Structures are given as C-alpha cells and as structure tokens.
Amino acid sequence: MTGIDGNAGKTSKERQSVEYAIASLLTLCKGEAKGSGISSKLHTLQRKLRTNRFHLAVLGQMKRGKSSFINALLRADILPTGVIPVTSVITEIRYSSSPAATIHYSTGQSENIPIALLADFITEAGNPGNKKQVGSVEVGYPASFLGANVVLIDTPGIGSTHAHNTRTTESYLEKIDAAIVVLSVDPPITQVESDFLERVKDDIPRFFFVLNKIDLVTPEELSSISHFLLEELENRLQLDSPELFPLSARQVLSTKRDNSDASFPIKLIDFEERLLQFFSAEKDQVLLQSVALDVTTIARTMRFAIAIGISARAMSVENLADKGRALNQLIAQAELELRELHVLLRQRTADILDQVEGDLRSHVESTIPDLRKRLKTFERQHPKETRTSLGRILEEFLMQAVDETFHKWKVQEDARIEAELHSLSDRFVAQANGILERLQQGAGTLFEVPVEQFSIACNLDVESHLYYMVEPIFHSLDNFILLLPRFLLRLVVFRKLDKNLFSILDCNAGRIRYDYVGRLEKSINKFDKELQAAVSIVTESLKSALCTSPHKANNQARTLNLLDTLIADCSRTVA
C-alpha cells in the first residue's frame, strides 16, 4: 500500500512539474504568431494532461480473440466476434451507467444506435470495406474498471487480408498510452506479429501481453509456449520484462453463460488484478511520461534557439550581421526545400490518382466482355419476365454486377495505394527530417552551439468508401419502350442494356475516382498540416533567436536557466 501511495505522491509532484513546464513554455512563446506550431502543440499536451484520459488499446493479429477478450473483461457479449476477419473499425469503450453506442461517421455526423446493432457498423460482414463511412464507434458500458478514466479500445486485426484494417489500427497508434497485445496458442507468435511489435515498441509506453485460447492446449504445452514466448519477447524483440497473461476468453464467456464450473483454470482474474494495480499505481505515470517526452523535445528545441541568441549577443556587430544573414539564409533555404517537398508531395499524389484512373479504365474495359456474356445468360434464365418485374430483376442483376466488378478491384487497388502512400510518407518524413537536421547543424556550427536533434513522426494514410448506383432501368431507357408489345419490349431492353453496359460501369468508375480524389486530398492535407506543425517548432524558434529587443536580450540568460530546469524536471519524469 505504501508503495502505491508513495507512487501517487511522486506522480502528483511530477505532474505539477510537467504542467508548470507547459505553462512556462506557453508564456515564453506568447509573443509568437497566434496558432503557431509550438503553442498549438503545447495546448494539445495541456489538454491531454487535463482530461487525464487513458487510452488502453487491445492490439494484435486478426482472429487472436481481441474482441472476445474485451467481452470477457466486460463479462458480456458486446462486441461482435467470429471466425473470419471481423472488426473493421476502431471501437472506444468508456464507462457509462447504462449500455449505449454512438457511431461517428467520417463525414462528421454522429448517430446513437442500440448496442445490439453494433455488428452492422463495425464488422466486415455488416459494413464491407467500411462503405458506411464509419470513422469510429463509442460504446458506453457500466464496467467498474472503466470508471478510472480509462478508454478501452478494440482495434481491427493487423495482417488481415483486408489491408485497410491494418492501416486503421496503425493510424490510431499515436493516441495509445498503453497496449494489451493479444497473442494466442495457435501459433504463439507469427512474423506479422514480430514485425508489428518491432515497429511500434518504441512508440507505446507500456505493453501487456495476453496469451489467449489456452483451452486448446494441455497445461504442459501451455508452460512451454509461455516460456518460448517470454524468451522471444525479451531476447529477440528486446522488450523489457514483458508481462504475459495466459487465459481463455472463450471459457470466461461460456462460464458466465452456463454458470458451469470449468475444470480448466480461468486466469482472467490474474490479468484483472494486474490491470487494477496498474490503474491505481502506474497509469497516471505512464500518461505523464508520454506528455513529458513531448514537452522535453519542445523545451530542447527552444533552448537551442536561445543558446544561439546568447552566443549572438557576445559577437561584434559586424560578425553578428554576417552570421544573422547566414542563419536567415539557412532558414530560407530550409523553407524553400520544404515548399518544394510540398509541391513534390502534391505531384506524387496526382500521379497516384492518374494511376487509379488508368487502372479503372482498363478494369472496366476488361470486364465488359464477361458482363455481356452474363447478361445473355441472365436473359436466357429469365424468359418470362417483362415490364416492371423485368425492370426490377435487371436492376438487381446490374447492381450486383457493378458491386462485384468494383468491390474486388477496390480491395486490390486499396492495398496498392496503401503500400504506395506508406512508402511516400516514409520518404517525405525522412526528407523533412533531413532538411531540419541540416538547418540545425548549420545554425549550431554558425553560432558554436551544440545541436539538439529534433525529428518528425507523422503518417499518411487514406481510406476509400465506395458507393454504387444503377439508374432505374426504364428510366435510363426511353419511356416509349413501355408501350411496346411484351416480346419486343424484352428484345429492345436487352439490346439497349448490352449497348449501355460500358456507360453504366464507366459512370460508377467516375464516382469511384471522385471518391479517391476526395479521400486522398483529405489525407494529404492532414499529413501536410502535421508536417508543417512539426517543422515550424524548429523554424519558429530559430527565427526568434536573433530577435534583438532589449527586453528579450536581457531575459535570455534567465530563460536559458529556466529551460534547463524544465528540461531536467521533465527528463526525470521520462526516465
């Protein structure tokens, strides 16, 4: 008990230091332009600390039992589970006095739905390829452990055949304060899981590992699997003292339902105890650490600029004028390179769209012969229908044909675009970091100040939500057709449709292209903004470094001391 109380006291002191550091840094950049990169980042960190909301995400490869595990924690079948890839949307579960669910659409609208209808929105089957444009889902549930300001998050499985599921999860990672990684006994760890952990291990402050489905193995097998996994996590993935909790989500849920006495030990309780201990003793600390890490980076960047300012004051007027010009050139050069990078990013995006257009055109052209054959078969299979009933079944046939034509294509195209965007964003972030590094190196050399490294991390990703349309058959043909005798009507309708097949597909291809343009535009703007905000932290502070207002100059030494103290305090929290 004393340990936990002691920790709480330590956390509250450290929290005060980090809050003080944020407030002091905000005061220091008061003179900067409103909404500047530094102050807006500091305001975000301040909000994160104030709401003190802890994001605990359940991550893992598809089908390991993530959703089942959350249901087990909630002791209720709330989230849909199944044998094929199920979860396709991020679902945030928070405390509420009674069960509730809200769908947040990417369009900005929200809708409350009964919890029993969740599957229609968050599963591949109910919402294939996320065509309903669900951004995220919020579930409220009266589980006491959620009361500690914890948001538990169900994520789509990584490495699923639905590549967009992996991207959905990866784009959410920066919001995560701790992760529960669900592994299972069949097999214990795969290449996909190792690669994923390798990629994210430095970005998530705390991990817990759950080994699910232990009902499928004997106690002896379980012991050797656990041993093997701990070795893998510790030695190969270099994770510090990994905590592994073997359990069976299925058994917890079936015990709850049948009220039977399971013979196999249900070990969820071990995990729950650990989780509660973590919430009371460590949760706030982990959240604080992630904020302190960002605050330290900003303080170091500002310190670097102030040190340049101090070094500048010690120079002769001529020397300073030369160096000032050289620094301004360096900043101007960096800004120019960054603007060029921005143009290049837009060009590459346009190239991707051109490629989508080309792919769509050739896909439509190559589909037409097969669709013609199918229309002929359809005509033979429905020899009697005419007028309204013919119109109805033809519309159904076409709608299905359009859906089939584009759905499979979209899955492949999305995977291709995602891979391209991934490498595009990696390349651009690396180039932006290179520009900043050169700028800082140059500034440091000019003013003989040791360089503070600052690197950007942002992500570019895109989703596509398709919608198809088929005009009512008799509306898209001519009305006089309805006046024709039955046999002639059928003949004319099928002949006309055969002729119109290309334009029906082409029209839907146009919609799909438009959809890609919109989504890609949105993602590029977001990425650009993030990149810009990160870059401006460096350029803004360097620009203000040589500001020679007497008030600022007098304060520089004091500011440097203040920044040193803030950096030392925040670094203690991070350590």
Ligand X SMILES: Nc1nc2c(ncn2[C@@H]2O[C@H](COP(=O)(O)OP(=O)(O)OP(=O)(O)O)[C@@H](O)[C@H]2O)c(=O)[nH]1
Which range touches ligand X (CB under 6 A), out of 168-176, 211-219, 458-466, 471-479?
A: 211-219
| Helices within 260-383 (DSSP H only) | 268-281, 283-313, 317-381
Q: Which is nearer to ligand X, 66 or 94 (CB)?
A: 66
Scan residues 394-433 and list those touching ligand X (CB under 6 A): none
Contact between 127 and Mg ion per CB under 5 A: no
Helix, coil or strand: residue 152 = strand
Contact between 367 and ligand X per CB under 6 A: no
Measured from the CB of residue 63, what is the shortest distance to ligand X in angstroms?
5
Phi and psi torsions of 141, nearest 5°: -150, 140
Contact between 213 and ligand X per CB under 6 A: yes
Scan residues 204-233 and list those touching Mg ion (CB under 5 A): none
Contact between 290 and ligand X per CB under 6 A: no
Helix, coil or strand: residue 38 = helix
Asked if residue 90 lies in contact with residue 59, where contact means CB atoms within 8 angstroms, the answer is no
Contact between 62 and ligand X per CB under 6 A: yes
Scan residues 432-491 and list those touching ligand X (CB under 6 A): none
Contact between 162 and ligand X per CB under 6 A: no
Task: Figure out which of the listed residues 130, 212, 349, 508 binds ligand X, where binding follows CB under 6 A.
Answer: 212
Among residues 406, 405, 394, which one has the least CA distance to residue 495?
394
Measured distance CA(321)–CA(301) in Å, rounded: 23
**DSSP bridge pairs for 55:** 151
Measured from the CB of residue 498, what is the shortest distance to ligand X in angstroms?
41
Task: Figure out which of the listed residues 85, 309, 391, 442 binds ligand X, where binding follows CB under 6 A.
Answer: 85
Task: Figure out which of the listed residues 11, 39, 67, 296 binds Mg ion, where binding follows CB under 5 A.
Answer: 67
Asked if residue 122 lies in contact with residue 78, where contact means CB atoms within 8 angstroms, the answer is no
Q: Which is nearer to ligand X, 66 or 164 (CB)?
A: 66
| DSSP one-letter string for 355-420 | HHHHHHHHHHHHHHHHHHHHHHHHHHH-SS--HHHHHHHHHHHHHHHHHHHHHHHHHHHHHHHHHH
Contact between 136 and ligand X per CB under 6 A: no
Among residues 247, 194, 302, which one has the least CA distance to residue 552?
302
Measured distance CA(53)–CA(47) in Å, rounded: 10
Contact between 253 and Mg ion per CB under 5 A: no
Measured from the CB of residue 154, what is the shortest distance to ligand X in angstroms?
7
Structure tokens belonging to residue 112: 């409350």
Task: Figure out which of the listed residues 32, 174, 215, 282 binds ligand X, where binding follows CB under 6 A.
Answer: 215
Contact between 267 and ligand X per CB under 6 A: no
Q: Which one of ligand X, Mg ion, none is in contact with 385 (Cβ closer than 5 to 8 A by kind)? A: none
Measured from the CB of residue 86, what is the shortest distance to Mg ion in angstroms?
5
Measured from the CB of residue 165, what is the shortest distance to Mg ion in angstroms?
9
- In 31-175, the DSSP E strands lie at 54-59, 91-95, 100-105, 110-113, 134-141, 150-154
Helix, coil or strand: residue 513 = helix
Contact between 83 and ligand X per CB under 6 A: yes
Asked if residue 403 lies in contact with residue 467, where contact means CB atoms within 8 angstroms, the answer is no
Residues near 519 by beta carbon (within 8 Å), at least 6 away in sequence: 462, 463, 464, 465
Q: Which one of ligand X, Mg ion, none is in contact with 248 (Cβ closer than 5 to 8 A by kind)? A: ligand X
Q: Which one of Mg ion, ligand X, none is in contact with 250 (Cβ closer than 5 to 8 A by kind)? A: ligand X
Task: Figure out which of the listed residues 216, 269, 321, 557 binds ligand X, where binding follows CB under 6 A.
Answer: 216
Q: What secondary structure letter does DSSP report for 546? A: T
Q: Which is nearer to Mg ion, 58 or 299 (CB)?
A: 58
Scan residues 78-107 and list those touching Mg ion (CB under 5 A): 86-87
Binding site for Mg ion (CB under 5 A): 66-67, 86-87
Contact footprint for ligand X (CB under 6 A): 60, 62-68, 81-83, 85-87, 156-157, 212-213, 215-216, 248-250
